[in-house]
Structure 1
Amino acid sequence: MSAVLRKLPLSLQHVFAMFGATVLVPILTGLSPGATLVASGLGTLVFHAITRGKVPAYLGSSFAFIAPLTLYVTRHHAPGQAVTGLVSVSVVYFLFALIVRVVGFDRVRRAIPSVVVGPVVSIIGLSLATTAVTVDASTHWDVAIVTLAAAVACAIAGPRTLRIIPILVGIVTGYLYALARGLVHLGQAAAQTKWIEFPTFHAPEWNLAAMASMAPIALVTMVEDLGHMFVLNEIIERDVTRDPGFGSILFGNGLATLISALLGGPAETTYAENLGVLAMTRNFSSRIIQGAAVIAILLGLVGKVSAVIQSIPPAVVGGVGILLYGMIAAMGIRHMIEAKVDLTKTKNLIVVAVIFIIGIGAPQNGIAIATVAGLLIYWLLPDRTAS
């Protein structure tokens, strides 16, 4: 029991990191937030079982499917058809997992040079900058600054027992400050929820158009998954694309999406937000992520507790987001330095430039498009001596 209590704050950090984005997707698309939390928790646990606990990643709601989900759930009032579309997404994941296992990831990896990996890792963090600063922190800058300052101070100068939970310290400090400022409306949020709320599930309803609109998007999220794994490799200093293998990672993500679809949730994907927590705390235990998954399942069922977390002001989330997303961006730069990428070569400089601008500038699927653009430039330009 004492070991569980020691790990609880570490797991809570991951819950706070993923919560906002995970529940935002169902709010935008008309799906059930409760079902989404339950699905993300179960999906993460299944993912860890498939990857044998060797990939400390959390799986939450994918933003790539917001448009088709909104179309079928909110406009057509046909959530069952949306479920069918998501099932087709999981099938695409399974097919590509099989392809990777047959062909071998080494061949895939050789086709992706460090000059592409580095900036792709960076834009995963930088693409979230607008969310952290403009959407969240700007709502109340003083709250965001207090939150950020508390997290940074804890990580650098805090006692050893607190240095492993700087994100949680920042969130609690920012929350208490916001509460004192009268910016927390906990009573209203709690009054609108019951103690126990069971998710609303939807049975699949055959629809070819839904399948055709969602299945191709799986290619986008798989590229993002690959980018997230590159980030994770840099953080934990171990190549998870080799052990347990990218095929297992794809299969686990596909199975998580299938489970989520059947439970009435959105597609699942690995979360950059939680990678930022790993980079900050330097605690890579998969048990902690699994603990966060269990908490997410409970939150999906216990309405009052979920209401408390939902009452956290956006500025608090923005304050810790500045730190988390910035850590991911810095990891990409570190990767290029350690790989000794020569940016005095024009070809390398062009690859990095194009990836950065497309990845940050494209409003949707920018990471995937930027990755493809960088690979095309690298392999099609005549100079093949770049690192």
Structure 2
Amino acid sequence: MMNNQAEKHYINSLLATYITGGTLCVDTFLTISGCLLTYTFLKHIEKVKGKIPWGIFYLHRYIRLTVGLFVVLLLALTIFYKLGSGPLWHFVLDKFGFLGYCKNYWWSQLLYIQNYVNPNESCMIHTWYLSVDMQLYVLSPLILYPMWRWKKFAHTVIPILLLVLHISTFLIVYSKNLKLKYLSPIESTLEDVHNWNTYYYSPTHTRAITWLMGVLLGHFIYNLKTPKKLKRKFVIFMWIGSLILMLSMVLVVHPLTVDDYSKEIPWDPLYITFSRPLWSAGLCWVIFACYTGHGGPVNWFLSLNAWIPLSRISYSMYLTHLFVQVFKLGRSRTTKYFSPFDTFNEIFADTVLTIFFATCLYLLFECPIFNLEVWYYKFVGKKSQKKENADKNRNCIVENVLPLSIRQIK
């Protein structure tokens, strides 16, 4: 940048908290993931009386995540690095994990273990989230099945587990002396970023808290059965409280990342440990309010049909957006002049290009494979139904082996 000081001043300003505090959005997906998985699992296991086809349970998830991931991984290994040029091209590709890291650790990528095996040498750095999500999914039956089997499990074991995870996360952050300033791309050193990723940001055991909060919400919604009408004053109070809570978790980042921040005040471990659960708590109310009919304009906006096309390509957008940004940055041949307007202009342009490439990925690979999978499960389900109906006059309820979560994907 020609004006590095202007960029540094902007990053450390209150207006830039959407960047430094924006990482909380990741926990939005973890909370939603835990909520949806719990709700659909409990609903389906109740229908099949506990007889879950565990092989299909895991196979479907692996196929769902790996088809698109394999395509972009293959693209990174074979074609992408040949598409551009410039003095920064190979440097940028290597920095974002598109060269050596992909060649050395493609296997940990496809096994979804790179957040532990090679957290600082990740192939395509943004895909660390997939490892966390897959690991939580693999371990989920250890929580979800006892939750269905024993009604008090959700009210006893999970709160204890949440307490243990909070304590362990705080101790990790405190013992490793992790600082909130590491969220700033300007203030942090390479060693700071490595410590942040290795000990806090990437490991599943430090990111499972918000996922478990989503699990509790999904369990509560499932047992609620029929949404209840809440008092108007209570609804207003909860909406105001949740929005203030979520907004404050973003804005409070500012005083903790400025240059004159006092290093003697131990606020960093407290914020790092509790900011994400508090953000998730506010989000849980938003989800619950929309489910029970108290969402108002928020529920109307989130339920617009215009979101349906984007929801179908959202995973493809997640996979392809870094390709667009790396390609643009790697081909740079001149020094840029920083300004907030130009930054937002680039964000808009990146979003449009990402939507285009994500649509191509979805139509060419994700959608066809998904349709084949659905067709196969339906075929297996029909054969299973014929076999059950031929049994000795037993009035068995024959369920399709296709998990409910698959049928709900539109």
Under TM normalisation by the shorter chain, which class is it?
under 0.3
> Over alpha carbons, which structure has the higher Rg?
2
Larger RCO (CA within 8 A; separation ≥ 6):
1
Normalising by structure 2, we get a TM-score of 0.24
TM normalised by structure 1 equals 0.25
